[in-house]
Every structure is written in C-alpha cells, then in structure tokens.
Amino acid sequence: MASVAMTVNGKSVSGDVEGRTLLVDFLRNDLRLTGTHVGCDTSQCGACVVHVNGEAVKACTMFAVEADGAEVATIEGQANADGSLNVIQQAFQDHHGLQCGFCTPGMVMSAAALLKDNPKPTEGEIRAYLEGNICRCTGYHNIVKAIMAASGQDVATIAAE
C-alpha cells in the first residue's frame, strides 16, 4: 500500500492505495467522485478526462500514486462557486451537446482544456482536439456548437451535417 495526498477540486484529500490503483478508481471509489466515468479501460473513449496540474489527462492511464501532490480537477469542480453551471456546461445544455450524458464529463473537461490553451478555436481545431473522446449518441455536431458558443463565437457558421 502507498499513501497519496492531493488536492481535488480545491480540497485536500488523502488515502492509501495499492500501487496499481488507477487515478480514475481512486476518484470514483475512494473519493466517491463518480462524475468521472470509466468507459473503456483502454484510454480510447475519453470519458475519464480530468485535469492534473492544469493538463487534461485520461484518468484511466494514470496511477493514483502518480498524482501524489498534484492539483486534480474533476467535473464535480467545474460549476461556478454558487453552484450554477459554468459557461461550458451551460453551452452544452443550451446547444444540446449531450444525449445520454455518459461522455459529457470527459467532453466538458476536454473542452475546458482546449479553451484554456486556445480561447477561440476553429471548428476544425475543436474536432481535432476531441479525437480522443468518443460519443455514441450525438454525432459531435452539437458538442462542437457548444464549445464554439462557450468560446463566445457564432455557432451559425457551423455547417449542418
């Protein structure tokens, strides 16, 4: 067993984990932050995307011990301080960027990372950035619209598919 301590969504947390415990399992099972989803266990789907020290990471590809001492942000920490949806979450709601919702936490976390690095991405840049996230319901069109809207851009320029 190994002891880990990190800051998750602004709160100090710690626990004892086996060396092989994945970050996604520590978040979901030990911390009960179940918004981070496990979709494929092979890093293909992106449902488990979180931010570690400000970088988007698939939490199924990282051991919890690797996050020892890190700042971790999950979907549970994305809302505004008053509990209202942040701009990205609101855009997903307003532009129907979700259906079943399973991929949504990873999509929102990926979108946040993209917009941090590229505040005004083009449609093509958004689509390229989301290549590591799989959605089986939406066809991505409304997800792209939501991210464009969250960046303050006109979504009318996105061609219907």
60 exposure class (CB count in 10 Å sphere: 0-12, 13-18, 19+): buried
Confidence band for 42, pLDDT divided at 50, 70 and 90: confident
C-alpha 95 chain-centroid distance: 18
Local confidence band at 161 (pLDDT 50, 70, 90 cut-offs)? low
Is CATH 3.50.50.60 what the domain over 87-150 is classified as, yes or no? no
Q: Where are the domains of the chain?
A: 2-77, 87-150
Q: Considering the domain 2-77 in this protein, what is its CATH number?
A: 3.10.20.30
pTM over 0.85: yes
Nearest residue to 103 via CA among 137, 126, 54, 147? 137
Whole-number pLDDT of residue 59: 97
